[in-house]
Every structure is written in structure tokens, then in C-alpha cells.
Amino acid sequence: MESVRVDDLVKKIVEKVTKELAQEAKGRTSVGEIVGAAVEAQRAWQWDYNLDARTKILSAIKSKLLPHAEELAKLARDDTDMGRLDDKILKKKLAITKTPGPEYFTTKAISGDNGLILEELAPFGVIASITPSTNPVATVINNTICMLSGGNGVVFSPHPGALRCTLRTVELIRDILAEEGAPVEVVSVLSDASLDSLKELMFHPDIKLISATGGPGVVKAALSSGKPAIGAGPGNPPVLVDETAHLEKAAKDIIAGASFDNNLPCIAEKELIAVNCIADELKDLMCHNGAYELKDRSKIDALVDLVLTKDHKIKKDMVGKNASVYLEKLGITPPPNVRLILVECDERHPFVQEELMMPILAMVRVADFKEGLAMAKRVEHGFKHSAIIHSTNIDNMSDMAKVMETSMFVKNAPSFASIGVGGDCPTAFTIGTTTGDGPTTPLSFCRLRRCVLHGAFRIV
């Protein structure tokens, strides 16, 4: 009965979005027209809406989007055929409730014998935001709040595999903007998710900044545009467990992080490196908390063939499935509540070297922390994205932080603590590792302006 209601809901949503897109076809349909309308709306948003007004409108977006979290999660799952519904609902709620807004801005004032200097952050203008299939809805919500907080406008370019859920999310946001009396076109979207439209958007003269969340190809294209860009590139985050770790907590945290939305987030644990003296106990604890260890070498080889091509690249149709799906395809009856497949192997194995985005976790043994750290550095491939450690040794935690140089580094928690799940940090679904921006906030989408008043306003 539930599935029927969900199918009916999706059908109604698709019909409504399709109808609205058809109506738009009579008006603004080209990239140029969409950007032109966004430019006009952005100017109004920047000059006619002060910080207090923006704060109230963005608060309304958050409160009015929250009841739609489950609807958008179901649509994203159906659109992409990836991930876990419960985790997708959590991601939507996270983006809505923990994305920072205008309150994040502060003014820097410096006074001296020669007067006063003010430094403030100002909008770029209209931003092109390229969104992924792995976190489509959460990225749209997160970027909308961050970008609008700084006075910007945004035109989203959806991933072709997540078009419906992206259009629906933007539709809801625009409805709320209209209800609040704000310029609707300040948040826009391309209904044509083609490569030609994307290129036209990136190279449009009125696009002042590009935010690219996706694979290496998309990020490279954004960086080649000749415009300022924030590139959220690939990652292959290692998790290292040493002999001082609280093993039961480490086991539960690793399973939670590595299986979160079936390992789709780029921050998630992608390979496990364990000091040999605790490896067996760690594996046993993981297998008692939702992991299934695949031991048969022939089954491991079959799993490789199932999810990877002959040149060890991921098969896109295998990304983000439940762990039970892979086991069933191998002829294995999955145990109840299995969330993660554990495979012990060596460093050269493709499950270690490739970012799978599947709930399949390779485990490699090392003699000690020093060997494990060196391996973690190698298998992360210099992306400088994310890394995780479980340890109570302060020196080990400090050394790994220094050596890895990653944008995100988590100690003694699941990887998703770095985006605000069970942690105090703000939420970010665009992690600008390629361009060095790190987890984005409203500050990331603004430019610095300096105002100098010579010879006055020093009062002491």
C-alpha cells in the first residue's frame, strides 16, 4: 500500500513539473534568457533586501522545505536508483537545518594612525552551480542557502540522472520565494541537462563564479572556464585504526560512516587500514554490528567483476546499492540488517585504489601506525579530501592530521560528523578540495572588498 502511495506521489510531481516546464517553454527557455532573468533578480536581491530581510526569507525557506524532506528523499532515490531512503531523508533535513546563513558574516575593522579600514564580503553576482547525482537535492538546498546569504543568485545545472528531483527542489524553493515576496528568478535551473547547455552556462559572460560538485571531468571543465571556480573533486578517504582505539565504538562508527547512503558521500570511509594486533577483534566487532565479511576468494573475484570493469573502473549501474543486492547477485543469502560488505585484501587491490561509492569496504592489515599512515597517504592519492582515524594516542592523531593534509579530518567518529551529523560543524555538500576552498559556507561564495578612510575615525 505504501509503495502505491509513493508511486502516485511521484507521478503527480512529475506531471506538475513537466507541465510547468512546458509553460516555461513559451517564455524563458534558452540559457541566455534564464541567466538574464537571474541577473535582474540578483540585482534586486542584493540591493533591495538587506541582511535582516534575507535572513527572514532564508529562514522561511528552511522552515517550509522541512516538511518536504521525505518527499524529496523518495524522489531522489527513485530518480537515481541509488542510496538508502532513511539516510537520504537525514541528508535533506541536515541541509535544511544546519546550513549556515547570513549570520555567518562578520565585518573586519582595522584602525591605526592613518585612519580606518573596513573589510567586508560582497556577492559575486550570478553563480553557476553544477550538481551531482550522488547528493542532488542536498546540494541544491545547501548551495541555495549559502549563495543567497551572500547576496548572490544561482542557476543550477542538474545531473541528467537526477533531473526530476533537482527540478522539484528548485520548484519548491521558488514557490517559497514567491510567497515571501522575493525575486523568484534569483534561484533558477536549466531544464535541459545536456552538455551543450552546461557549456553555454559556464561560458556565459554574466556568470561570475562556477561551483562544480561532481566527477573529475566536470571539475576540470569548470576550472578551464577562465572564471573563478570552486571545484569539489574526487576523494578516496582512508580510515586508520590503531592499537589504542576503542574498538567497539570504532567498529560501529566505521559501519555507520561507510554505509551512510550506501557510501555515496565523497567524505565516507572508502578503505580500512587496521594495525594487525587489533585487526581480528575489529573485524569480529564489525561483523556483529552490521558488516558481512566476504572470505571466499572466488566470491571476492566475482564481486570485483560485478562492480568494476576490466580496467577496474566502477560500473555506474552498481553504484550506491544496498549491501544485500551485491550479496544476492553472488548467490549469498544476506543476513538481516546487513549494511556493509567487508573484504580483507592487500593495498594493490582495486577495492582499495578505487573510490567505489558502494557499501563495500576493503580492509588492509599493517604492522603498526607508522606503516598504516604511510599507506593511508598513498591510497588517498593526494586528493586531500578526507581521512579518518580511530585512536586515543594524541601523537598519532596529530601526526595523521599533519601528514594527510585533507580538507576534512575526523577523529573517533563516523566520517559524516564532518558535515554536521552528530557534530557541531555546519553542513556542507560542496567540499572544494581541488581548489582549496574546503567545506563551503556562505563566505565561500563571496569576494573580499576593502574600504579605506584616511585620517579619520580612530578614536583612541
Domain segments of the chain as ranges = 29-234+439-451, 238-405
**Which residue, 157, 179, 166, is CA-closest to 64?**
179
Is 22 a residue whose pLDDT tops 80?
A: no
> Which of 214-228, 311-325, 438-452 has the lowest average pLDDT?
214-228
Q: Which helix (H) or strand (E) holds 240?
A: strand 238-241
Strand partners, 447: 122
DSSP 162: G
Is 113 a residue whose pLDDT tops 80?
A: yes
Mean pLDDT, residues 208-229: 89
Cα separation, 324 vs 340, in Å, equals 8
Band the pLDDT of 26: cuts 50, 70, 90.
very low
Which phi and psi (to 5°) does residue 47 adopt? Answer: -100, -25
Q: Residue 303 corresponds to which cell in the numbers above?
A: 564481486
Band the pLDDT of 16: cuts 50, 70, 90.
low
Residues 6+ apart with CB under 8 A from 311: none
For 322-355, write each residue's pLDDT tens digit: 999 999 999 999 999 999 999 999 999 999 999 9
For 136-154, write each residue's pLDDT tens digit: 999 999 999 999 999 999 9
Is 3 a residue whose pLDDT tops 50?
A: no
User: b vs e for 270-297, b when ≥16 Cβ sit within 10 Å of the residue's Cβ?
Assistant: bbbbbbeebbeebbebbbebbbbebeee
Place of cell 541577473: 39
For 276-312, write each residue's pLDDT tens digit: 999 999 999 999 999 999 999 999 999 999 999 999 9
> Would you state the pLDDT for residue 13?
54
Question: Which pTM does this prediction carry?
Answer: 0.90
For 64-83, write each residue's pLDDT tens digit: 999 999 999 999 999 999 99
> Which of 166-180, 235-249, 423-437 has the lowest average pLDDT?
423-437
The third-level CATH classification (topology) of the domain covering 238-405 is Aldehyde Dehydrogenase; Chain A, domain 2 (3.40.309)
> Would you state the pLDDT for residue 28?
55
Can you list the positions of beta strands (E) in 294-368? 340-344, 360-366
**Number of neighbours of residue 348 by Cβ within 10 angstroms:** 9
Strand partners, 390: 241
> Would you state the pLDDT for residue 346?
97
The CA–CA distances, whole Å, from 371 to 107, 240, 275 equal: 46, 11, 9
Mean pLDDT, residues 429-434: 90
Mean pLDDT, residues 261-274: 97
Q: Is 80 helix (H, G, I), strand (E, B) or coil?
A: helix
Mean pLDDT, residues 199-228: 91
Q: Residue 18 corresponds to which cell in the numbers above?
A: 513537466
Mean pLDDT, residues 363-381: 98
> Which of 8-17, 91-100, 154-163, 335-344 has the lowest average pLDDT?
8-17
> Would you state the pLDDT for residue 215?
78
Is 105 a residue whose pLDDT tops 80?
A: yes
Is 451 a residue whose pLDDT tops 90?
A: yes
Q: Which CATH number fits domain 29-234+439-451: 3.40.50.150, 3.40.50.300, 3.40.50.2000, 3.40.605.10?
A: 3.40.605.10
| Cα 220 off chain centre by | 18
Burial class of residue 34, CB neighbours in 10 A (0-12, 13-18, 19+): buried
Residue type, 266: C
> Would you state the pLDDT for residue 107?
87
Mean pLDDT, residues 171-179: 98
